[in-house]
Chains A and B, each alone.
Chain A
């Protein structure tokens, strides 16, 4: 190990030292790799197993590596869905003394799905919409905190299941920039890049015969712009009403809550004569349901999953006739009596297929399907048993889909069938 090797990491794992940093990434022995490299990327990227998990290593210039590392850490701190940076290694040299590029290391995001996997299958009718929605939500969130991405694309994004929908995670921050506040020009340009990139990526899948069920790639790209603008307006737009309609203040806050946002600061002004009120949300934080569920149960899940779990908790509260009880007590009991037993009933060998919260969401869907067929309510325990027996075994393992081969694609493509069937 050359003395000059320098590792910058918030929590360095000593196992990092055992990796062959003196070899160019492109030539790393196959037995180290968690997946074989595929596709063309700007930089050499490899997935490697380390200390029981998977890390992504990207070879890149030193200053760019430090920059991206710092940006990812900022995003992490601000709670924006993004890959978690592990560290930067510089000062690499080959045994003959040739300098090698620095590397940026990130954690592989468990249970994440690359867009190629999602678009290359028989899409459920609104699958494309759901992915684009997720990306629009992410982009709005980034823009709200002043992050200009510079290279928005499907391939720089990973998707995680979120109670039937998806949440999007930023994977590549190389071209990004943190600002105090974005100008309209920056937001519009980011959107334009996104639109063109998305269409390009879909055209590419089309050219490779891998795109299913998407008729018009241009339309999908434009959908992003539309969804983004709708959400941005809803979150930031100024509203004007007569001072007698003051209920509209709380209505606006409730609407934002339903969209999954908390209002951190709301600016309210009145005209000189006090007849007209203007309100404009100044600070909105995503993750309203996520935070509520986290506070009640300690569960750290996606926004829609949280919404789903909270709904089930409310149903449980009504069913057990405890509407007068403290929410905290009910949540505790729901966790012990409903959620935990359902998750515990999933055999160990099937746990790599879905995240617990997503599995729970599917169990609830399955219960609904069974109830409809039977014409009466089905106990959750029965639904769990049926789900574990009839649905889950046919699903692919999604814990670590890294680079795709055709076998994985085929496996995933079979899974979007009805959860009830």
Chain B
């Protein structure tokens, strides 16, 4: 097992001027489960393929452990791409299906058996080793495929959107399985997905990329609680964070009839480039329903209520139509999302007054998108 280091790793595709991955610096600790996440075209798959040796590294380098693998061929990197292909061979036993790559590599029989038995134990497949794959369920067959990668004892597992091909139910199941299996094996794993929920639920740490640039790396909690810029703020979390453009005056952030006090630290961090504006972010669950008289409260017209049993979300917009345009969320332009008490949801067309809970608002510079101190 080993750590993985991207050291200013850059990939520029032939014929392209902008890098697909731009000076990526990233350390994955030994045994860590790191998820690369971002919208399509952000460079996450390219980064993974650079680590796999499938993409050239035009500048910078990549290390596995202390070994510089930048110019090492894929098969000599001691990595395993998991789930790429999991065709099972019908005439071979489950054990042979798991161990055949070792046989090709000339590993002694006794050692193959030992490694296969060890992997089977972890995968709950011990009692099936001498059966044919036909006798297995779909989930068990998938575990045999995982077993194939495990018996090779690679330094790093690589997974590129392995769940994209599964239906919703199996996706959630397999997600949990992969995460717990990885923890039991303790093999360094780099996992690519476009799905932030997958990232939050699986990774020890998450790296968010956009346009080939690393935006932020951190634990799921850090990414959620202290997004370092507007992009990460809007990308991580479901439903998404509300983001509003406020005018700064009298030490407050102002939008129509709403006035939200700002701290000294926040105000001091603003620059002339911000042009007297500030971006405020607040998650749907950081809003309390309140009354009109409370300072900092604002009215929201309810367009839709999504009831999930344990939660209810209001999708609406600021009652003041002109000001509404200043607010966006994952639900779209001029839209706001508010978590409300599922036992007393408002009705469509109602106006509710909400207020950001103390200390739960995020501040960003409109000029740079960077996080400002609270």
Instruction: Identify the A interface with B (CB < 8 A).
Output: 39-42, 60-61, 63-64, 101, 148, 150-151, 153, 155, 175, 180-181, 183-186, 188-189, 192-193, 196-197, 199-201, 203-205, 207-208, 210, 218, 221
Q: Is the CB of A180 within 8 A of B15?
A: yes
Pairs A-B, 9 closest by C-beta atoms:
A208-B91, A204-B89, A189-B74, A207-B91, A185-B53, A151-B85, A192-B75, A207-B92, A183-B56
The distance in angstroms between the C-alpha atoms of A63 and B101, with both chains bound, is 31
Q: Is the CB of B166 within 8 A of A61?
A: yes
Q: Is the CB of B166 within 8 A of A189?
A: no
The distance in angstroms between the C-alpha atoms of A204 and B134, with both chains bound, is 14
- The reply to whether the CB of B219 lies closer than 8 angstroms to some CB of chain A is no
Supply 16 A–B pairs (Cβ within 8 Å), ascending by A.
A40-B88, A40-B133, A42-B87, A101-B167, A148-B54, A180-B14, A183-B55, A184-B56, A185-B53, A185-B56, A185-B74, A188-B74, A189-B53, A189-B73, A189-B75, A221-B104
Contacts of A188 in B (CB 8 A): 53, 73-75
Q: Is the CB of A153 within 8 A of B85?
A: yes
Q: Is the CB of B96 within 8 A of A207?
A: yes
Q: Is the CB of A200 within 8 A of B100?
A: yes
Q: Is the CB of B85 within 8 A of A197?
A: yes
The distance in angstroms between the C-alpha atoms of A196 and B164, with both chains bound, is 25
The distance in angstroms between the C-alpha atoms of A285 and B56, with both chains bound, is 25
* Closest A residue to B141 using CB positions: A40
Interface centre among A155, A183, A186 (most CB of B within 10 A): A183
* Closest B residue to A101 using CB positions: B167
Task: Give the shortest distance, in Å, between A181 (CB) and chain B (any CB).
Answer: 6
The distance in angstroms between the C-alpha atoms of A180 and B16, with both chains bound, is 10
- The reply to whether the CB of B52 lies closer than 8 angstroms to some CB of chain A is yes
Task: Give the shortest distance, in Å, between A217 (CB) and chain B (any CB).
Answer: 9
Q: Is the CB of A203 within 8 A of B84?
A: no
The distance in angstroms between the C-alpha atoms of A205 and B134, with both chains bound, is 15
* Closest A residue to B145 using CB positions: A42
Contacts of A192 in B (CB 8 A): 74-75
Q: Is the CB of B91 within 8 A of A204?
A: yes
Task: Give the shortest distance, in Å, between B324 (CB) and chain A (any CB).
Answer: 33
Q: Is the CB of B54 within 8 A of A189?
A: yes
Task: Give the shortest distance, in Å, between A178 (CB) and chain B (any CB).
Answer: 12
The distance in angstroms between the C-alpha atoms of A192 and B92, with both chains bound, is 21
Q: Is the CB of A185 within 8 A of B73?
A: yes
Contacts of A150 in B (CB 8 A): 84-85
The distance in angstroms between the C-alpha atoms of A180 and B52, with both chains bound, is 19
- The reply to whether the CB of B368 lies closer than 8 angstroms to some CB of chain A is no
Q: Is the CB of A153 within 8 A of B89?
A: no
Contacts of A148 in B (CB 8 A): 54
Contacts of B14 in A (CB 8 A): 180-181
Task: Give the shortest distance, in Å, between A153 (CB) and chain B (any CB).
Answer: 7
Contacts of A200 in B (CB 8 A): 89, 100-101, 104
Contacts of B103 in A (CB 8 A): 203
Interface centre among B87, B88, B91, B134 (most CB of A within 10 A): B87
Contacts of A208 in B (CB 8 A): 90-91
Q: Is the CB of B89 within 8 A of A203?
A: yes
Contacts of B84 in A (CB 8 A): 150-151, 175, 193
Q: Which residues of B108-143 have CB atoms within 8 Å of chain A's CB atoms?
A: 133-134, 141
Q: Which residues of B160-182 have CB atoms within 8 Å of chain A's CB atoms?
A: 164-167
* Closest A residue to B53 using CB positions: A185
The distance in angstroms between the C-alpha atoms of A242 and B59, with both chains bound, is 36
Contacts of B101 in A (CB 8 A): 196, 200
Q: Is the CB of A193 within 8 A of B87?
A: no
Contacts of A205 in B (CB 8 A): 91
Contacts of A221 in B (CB 8 A): 104
Q: Is the CB of A40 within 8 A of B134?
A: yes
The distance in angstroms between the C-alpha atoms of A218 and B100, with both chains bound, is 11
Q: Is the CB of B85 within 8 A of A186?
A: no
Q: Is the CB of A61 within 8 A of B165?
A: yes
Task: Give the shortest distance, in Å, between A359 (CB) and chain B (any CB).
Answer: 34
| Per-residue interface assignment for chain B, residues 42 to 64, with 1 indicating a CB less than 8 Å from any chain A CB and 0 otherwise | 00000000001111100000000
Q: Is the CB of B75 within 8 A of A204?
A: no
Task: Give the shortest distance, in Å, between A114 (CB) and chain B (any CB).
Answer: 14
Task: Give the shortest distance, in Å, between B208 (CB) and chain A (any CB).
Answer: 22
Q: Is the CB of B54 within 8 A of A203?
A: no
Q: Is the CB of A185 within 8 A of B55?
A: yes
Q: Is the CB of A185 within 8 A of B54?
A: yes
Task: Give the shortest distance, in Å, between B144 (CB) and chain A (any CB).
Answer: 11
The distance in angstroms between the C-alpha atoms of A148 and B52, with both chains bound, is 14
Contacts of B96 in A (CB 8 A): 203, 207
Contacts of B164 in A (CB 8 A): 61, 63-64
Contacts of B134 in A (CB 8 A): 40
Q: Which residues of B259-294 have CB atoms within 8 Å of chain A's CB atoms?
A: none
- CB < 8 Å: which of B54, B56, B85, B90 contacts A175? B85
Q: Is the CB of B75 within 8 A of A199?
A: no
The distance in angstroms between the C-alpha atoms of A210 and B52, with both chains bound, is 36
Task: Give the shortest distance, in Å, between A404 (CB) and chain B (any CB).
Answer: 12
* Closest B residue to A152 using CB positions: B85
* Closest A residue to B171 using CB positions: A61
Q: Is the CB of A183 within 8 A of B54?
A: yes
The distance in angstroms between the C-alpha atoms of A64 and B14, with both chains bound, is 26
Q: Which residues of B319-365 have CB atoms within 8 Å of chain A's CB atoms?
A: none
Task: Give the shortest distance, in Å, between A421 (CB) and chain B (any CB).
Answer: 33
The distance in angstroms between the C-alpha atoms of A200 and B88, with both chains bound, is 9
Contacts of B54 in A (CB 8 A): 148, 183, 185-186, 189
Q: Is the CB of B52 within 8 A of A189?
A: yes
7 further contact pairs, Cβ within 8 A, besides A155-B87, A200-B104: A42-B86, A61-B164, A185-B73, A188-B73, A189-B74, A203-B92, A203-B96
Interface centre among A148, A150, A189, A197 (most CB of B within 10 A): A189
Q: Is the CB of B100 within 8 A of A203?
A: yes
The distance in angstroms between the C-alpha atoms of A155 and B89, with both chains bound, is 11
* Closest B residue to A185 using CB positions: B53
Contacts of A218 in B (CB 8 A): 104
Contacts of B55 in A (CB 8 A): 183, 185-186
Contacts of A41 in B (CB 8 A): 87
Interface centre among A60, A155, A203 (most CB of B within 10 A): A203
Known: A183-B55, A185-B55, A218-B104. A60 touches B13 (CB 8 A): no
Interface centre among A63, A175, A186 (most CB of B within 10 A): A186
Contacts of B86 in A (CB 8 A): 42
The distance in angstroms between the C-alpha atoms of A343 and B86, with both chains bound, is 44
Q: Is the CB of B165 within 8 A of A60?
A: yes
The distance in angstroms between the C-alpha atoms of A153 and B85, with both chains bound, is 10
Contacts of B167 in A (CB 8 A): 61, 101
The distance in angstroms between the C-alpha atoms of A101 and B54, with both chains bound, is 31
The distance in angstroms between the C-alpha atoms of A40 and B145, with both chains bound, is 13
Q: Is the CB of B89 within 8 A of A64?
A: no
